[in-house]
């Protein structure tokens, strides 16, 4: 199975991040602008949390809070699960399932080098399955 680094090479290694002092409204606006389902919450290049659309739905909307008055730090997930870029996509999927998360920051040393989603891992698995099918078809046809 491919390493997580392979996904980052295909999709890009950009990291959409926001400050814990920003409003949830600003976070949701950034997610919408970037087409992202989550943002890494950072202070001075260090991860302090993750905020997702799910956090917004469950911790702002359902609790009747105002997104323009609520800070990211109030609703972000503080216990951040990360993965190293040399770990496999399978390991990433296992972590996402185990922790019930859809976005996984990729960290090398102290630096966030990207974020992958469950959709990214699914695309990778589909690609690998198609490649295996093509290889098997070619093997069968060459006999």
Segment 5-16, tens digit of pLDDT: 999 998 887 899
* pLDDT over 80 at 51, yes or no: yes
pLDDT confidence of residue 49: 97
Please give the residue range of the domain that contains residue 33: 4-141
* pLDDT over 90 at 65, yes or no: yes
Long-range Cβ pairs for the range 58-65 (8 Å, 24+): 60/24, 65/24
Structural domains counted in the chain:
1
Looking up residue 78, the CATH number of its domain turns out to be 3.10.580.10
pLDDT confidence of residue 57: 93
Q: What is the mean pLDDT of residues 50-77?
A: 95
Q: Are 99 and 48 in contact (CB under 8 A)?
A: no
* pLDDT over 90 at 1, yes or no: no
User: DSSP states of the chain as a string?
Assistant: --BHHHHHHHH-----EE-TTSBHHHHHHHHHHHT-SEEEEEETTEEEEEEEHHHHIIIIITTT--TTTSBHHHHSB-S---B-TTSBHHHHHHHHHHHT-SEEEEEETTEEEEEEEHHHHHHHHHHHHHHHHHHHHHHHHT-
Mean residue pLDDT of the chain comes to 94
What does the alpha-carbon distance between residue 65 and residue 79 come to, in Å, rounded to a whole number? 22
pTM score, two decimals?
0.87
pLDDT confidence of residue 125: 87
Segment 83-139, tens digit of pLDDT: 999 999 999 999 999 999 999 999 999 899 999 999 999 998 898 889 889 889 888
């Amino acid at each position: 199975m491919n390493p997580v680094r392979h996904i980052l090479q295909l999709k890009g290694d950009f990291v959409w991040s926001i400050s814990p002092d920003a409003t949830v409204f600003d976070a949701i606006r950034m997610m919408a602008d970037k087409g992202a389902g989550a943002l890494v919450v950072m202070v001075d290049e260090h991860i302090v949390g993750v905020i997702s659309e799910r956090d917004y739905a469950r911790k702002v909307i359902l609790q009747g809070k105002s997104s323009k008055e609520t800070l990211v730090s109030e609703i972000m997930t503080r216990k951040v699960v990360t993965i190293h870029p040399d770990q496999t996509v399978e390991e990433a999927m296992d972590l996402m399932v185990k922790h019930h998360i859809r976005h996984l920051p990729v960290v090398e040393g102290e630096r966030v080098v990207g974020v992958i989603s469950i959709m990214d891992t699914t695309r990778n698995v589909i690609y690998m399955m198609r490649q295996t099918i093509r290889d098997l078809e070619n093997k069968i046809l060459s006999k």
